[in-house]
Amino acid sequence: MDWQRVLPTWARRAAVRAGALPPAPVPAALWQATVATYPFLERLTPAEDAHLQQLVAHFLQRKEFSGAHGLVITDAMAVAIAAQACVLLLYFGEPADALRWYDDFVGIVVHADDVVARRKVVDEAGVVHHYREELMGEAMEGGPVMLSWAAVQPGHAAHGGHTNVVIHEFAHKLDMHDGHANGCPPLPRGFMGHTSASAARQAWSAVWGDAYERFRDLVIRHERFGQPAPWLDAYGAEAPAEFFAVACEGYWVDRERMAEELPTVVHALDAFFGRLAR
C-alpha cells in the first residue's frame, strides 16, 4: 500500500505475528471515498465504522494483493475489497480474534474482468464432461481468493440478481473455516441458546434446509413458469453453500429487505454474526 511502510514479506509477517508492527490507519479521505461508494457501509454507526476501519487496517497488513495480467492494484481497490471482506467480521471481537477466520489464506488475486475457467466433471455413468464457467470470484479451500474488479464495482449484477461478489466469496471463507463449504460455518458457543454443538448444528440445519428448499422452489417456478424472480440471486439455488453465501450478501447489503424475504434466516445470521448479543 502506498501509505504504509514497505518491508520484505518475511519481515512484515514476522513483525505482525510478534505484535511489533501496528498497522497503518487508512487515510481519512480514502476511507470516506470508499464508504461513499458502497451505501451499505454508509449505514454503519460511528462505532461500527471505527471498528471496521481497525479491522481493515489489520487485514491489509496481513494480506497480499496481486493483479492478474498486469492489473495494477491501487490503494482504493485494496481498501474497497478489504472493507467489504471485513464487514462480515464486524461483531467478532478485536481484530486479532476476528481475523482468525481468514487465517487459511494470504493472497487475493484480482482480475480486471470476469474469468472464464475450464471445468471437468464426471457424471454417474463415468462420462467426463468439459465445460467453461464464467466467474466473478472464487474462494479456494486453504488457498487464495480470486475476484473480478469489474464485479466488485457497485451495481454489478450477474444472473439477474442481487450481487456482492466480495461478501459472497468471503462468506465462503467463513463456511470453509472448519475445512469444507457446506452451508453451515462453525457456530459460536451457545448459538441461539443451545448448550451443545450438535444441537446448534441441528437448529441451523432445520432453518437453512427449509429456507433453501423454498428458495429453490421459487427459482424453479420463475425459470419454468415465469413467476416473479426471488429477490436474492438465483445462483443461491445451486447448492446449500451457495445459498449461504448469497444470503450473506443480502443480509449485509440490505438487512431490512432480507428480513422481509427470509426472517428465519436473518434470525440465524444475527446469532451467527453476533448481532443478537448487541
Both 144 and 215 in one domain: the answer is: no
Both 245 and 129 in one domain: the answer is: no
pLDDT at 154: 85
Residue 180, classed as helix, strand or coil, is: coil
CATH number at residue 95: 1.10.472.150
Both 122 and 203 in one domain: the answer is: no
**Mean pLDDT (whole number) for 163-189:** 94
Both 19 and 105 in one domain: the answer is: yes
The residue count for the chain: 278
Both 78 and 120 in one domain: the answer is: yes
Flag whether 176 is in a domain: no
**Mean pLDDT (whole number) for 81-92:** 98
CATH number at residue 195: 3.40.390
- If you average pLDDT over every residue of the chain, what do you get? 89
**Mean pLDDT (whole number) for 129-155:** 85
Contacts by 50-53, CB closer than 8 A, 24 or more apart:
51/90, 52/83, 52/86, 52/87, 52/90, 53/25, 53/26
Domain boundary residue, one of 163, 197, 224 = 163
Both 141 and 189 in one domain: the answer is: no
pLDDT band at 196 (very low <50, low <70, confident <90, very high): very high
Both 197 and 156 in one domain: the answer is: no
Closest listed residue to residue 220, CA positions, set 211, 210, 230: 230
Domain boundary residue, one of 118, 133, 163 = 163
Domain boundary residue, one of 163, 197, 231 = 163
Residue type, 165: V
Both 22 and 122 in one domain: the answer is: yes
Both 74 and 105 in one domain: the answer is: yes
Q: Give the start-end residues of each E strand in the chain.
A: 64-67, 107-111, 115-122, 128-135, 137-139, 145-148
Element spanning 98, H or E: helix 95-98
102-111, 126-135, 136-145, 212-221, range with the lowest pLDDT:
126-135
Flag whether 168 is in a domain: no
Backbone φ and ψ of 255, nearest 5°:
-60, -35
Both 69 and 103 in one domain: the answer is: yes
pLDDT band at 21 (very low <50, low <70, confident <90, very high): confident
Tens of pLDDT, residues 92-108: 999 999 999 999 999 99
Flag whether 170 is in a domain: no
Q: Which residue range is the domain that position 243 belongs to?
A: 182-278
Contacts by 115-120, CB closer than 8 A, 24 or more apart:
115/146, 115/148
- The owner of cell 481519512 is 28
Flag whether 171 is in a domain: no
Alpha-carbon distance of 235 to 160, in angstroms, equals 10
Alpha-carbon distance of 49 to 84, in angstroms, equals 12
How many domains is the chain partitioned into structurally?
Answer: 2
Both 119 and 8 in one domain: the answer is: yes
